[in-house]
């Protein structure tokens, strides 16, 4: 049980302000308190944290680099360790499940990469893998077993496909699965992904489809089989809309996906046996909710408005995952990532 003194730490990348803002989040009230700003040039955008929560990786889009920061525990302070040159503009950064490799996706360079980290946890250059896929590569992430990796590609400027790889956690190598691509029959545009914590299920946000698609993962093959696509929008909405990021709560009970256009966060409850989704509504948020995060205790959600530079906080219903607005905070220009963690 958490003590009254425990706090979550929140890291928000602000691409146009060239900084990362650090906050603490009260796990009981959901109140947010600013702690410090970390200047970082080169357009900081995607963030990733190591499995042991000791290292923060920052993708710098305009300078085409990844910077490594050591996270002080329990204070959450960031100490610069090193920077790794890249061969393109990173739109997504992650680690494999061991933390020995840092992965990144390159929308404009049509590529996914894998870097081994050195003894200081800094990604090494050149990468172990610089794998050409297709235009519109938006993410790369390994599954719970760390044996498979998936790279989604949107539809309007990409092939509307998920590239499926086998991943070797000893060498970091990606091997194309057979088939390499899964192509949705509809114009969905898979963009981001999130794994269920206990089921062999992965969820993709569909940028062009304004939906979430659930897939079963073949445990012996790594191949994806879709079993549900569900809209993120209310019935009757006819305006322009695209989906962006996606999050599954720590417990695996809830899933959230933002709507850019309808400007809302869609909430879903997850069936604990099948992984299927049931919509529990949408809550209005700051315009263009590209980035958001869910607190480790499942009780709070923070959504950043890319258009307004404000961060909206919500209480998460523990019955069905629906959202209740709490407060709104000014954070800065062009927020691109919201990472919430509990430093233990």
pLDDT of 95-129, one tens digit each? Answer: 999 999 999 999 999 999 999 999 999 999 999 99
Provide DSSP, 201-250: EEEEEETTTTEEEEEEE-TTT--EEEEEEEESS-TT--S--EE---EE-T
Residue 5 pLDDT = 53
Q: Look at the chain and count its residues.
A: 344
Q: How far is CA 174 from CA 127, 148, 202, 223, in A?
A: 12, 9, 19, 14
The SS3 call for residue 94 is strand
**HSE-up of 70 (CA within 13 Å, CB side)?**
9
Is residue 2 pLDDT above 70, yes or no?
A: no
> In the predicted model, what is the mean pLDDT of residues 232-251?
97
Percent of the chain with pLDDT over 90: 98
Q: Give the tokens for residue 19.
A: 């900084």
**Under 8 Å CB-to-CB from 199, ≥6 apart: which residues?**
252, 275
Report the 10 Å Cβ neighbour count for 150.
26
Q: Which of 70, 68, 123 is nearest to 100 (CA)?
A: 123
Report the 10 Å Cβ neighbour count for 301.
29
Report the 10 Å Cβ neighbour count for 233.
20
- Could you tell me the pLDDT band of residue 6, with boundaries at 50, 70 and 90? confident
Angular region, 99: left φ>0, alpha ψ -120 to 50, beta rest: left
Q: How far is CA 87 from CA 5, 15, 44, 93, 148, in A?
A: 43, 19, 16, 14, 24
**Under 8 Å CB-to-CB from 310, ≥6 apart: which residues?**
286, 304, 328, 329, 330, 331
- Could you tell me the pLDDT band of residue 343, with boundaries at 50, 70 and 90? very high
Q: How far, in Å, CA of 301 to CA of 19, rounded?
A: 22
Mean pLDDT, all residues of the chain? 97
Residue 259 pLDDT = 98
Q: Give the tokens for residue 322.
A: 């629906």
Q: How far, in Å, CA of 89 to CA of 107, rounded?
A: 8
Q: How far is CA 233 from CA 89, 214, 261, in A?
A: 31, 16, 10
> In the predicted model, what is the mean pLDDT of residues 76-88?
97
pLDDT in tens, 263-308: 999 999 999 999 999 999 999 999 999 999 999 999 999 999 999 9
Q: How far, in Å, CA of 127 to CA of 140, rounded?
A: 15
Q: How far, in Å, CA of 252 to CA of 270, rounded?
A: 7
β-pair partners for 10: 23, 340
Phi, psi of 17, rounded to the nearest 5 degrees? -95, -5
Residue 101 pLDDT = 98
β-pair partners for 283: 265
């Amino acid at each position: 049980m958490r003590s009254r003194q425990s706090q979550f730490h929140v890291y928000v990348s602000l691409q146009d302000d060239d900084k990362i803002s650090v906050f603490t989040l009260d796990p009981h009230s959901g109140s947010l308190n600013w702690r410090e700003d970390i200047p970082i040039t080169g357009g900081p955008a995607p963030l990733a944290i190591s499995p042991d929560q000791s290292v923060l990786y920052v993708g710098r889009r305009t300078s085409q680099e990844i910077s490594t920061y050591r996270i002080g525990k329990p204070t959450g302070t960031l100490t610069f360790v090193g920077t790794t040159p890249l061969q393109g503009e990173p739109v997504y950064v992650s680690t494999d499940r061991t933390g020995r490799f840092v992965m990144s996706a390159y929308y404009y360079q049509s590529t996914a990469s894998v870097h081994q980290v050195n003894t200081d946890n800094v990604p090494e250059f050149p990468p172990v893998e610089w794998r050409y896929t297709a235009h519109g590569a938006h993410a790369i992430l390994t599954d719970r077993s760390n044996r498979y990796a998936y790279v989604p590609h949107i539809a309007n400027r990409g092939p509307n496909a998920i590239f499926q790889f086998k991943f070797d956690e000893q060498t970091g190598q990606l091997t194309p699965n057979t088939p390499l691509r899964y192509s949705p029959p509809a114009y969905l545009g898979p963009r981001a992904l999130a794994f269920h914590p206990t089921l062999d299920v992965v969820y993709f946000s569909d940028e062009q489809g304004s939906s979430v698609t659930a897939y079963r993962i073949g445990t012996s093959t790594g191949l994806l089989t879709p079993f549900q696509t569900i809209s993120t929008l209310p019935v009757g909405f006819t305006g322009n809309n695209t989906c962006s990021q996606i999050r599954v709560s720590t417990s695996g009970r809830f899933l959230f996906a933002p709507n850019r256009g309808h400007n809302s966060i869609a909430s879903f409850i997850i069936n604990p046996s099948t992984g299927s989704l049931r919509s529990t509504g949408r809550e209005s948020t700051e315009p263009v909710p590209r980035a958001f995060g869910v607190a480790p205790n499942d009780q709070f959600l923070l959504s950043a408005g890319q258009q307004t530079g404000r961060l909206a906080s919500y209480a998460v219903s523990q019955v069905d995952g629906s959202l209740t607005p709490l407060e709104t905070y000014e954070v800065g220009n062009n927020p691109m990532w919201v990472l919430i963690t509990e430093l233990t």
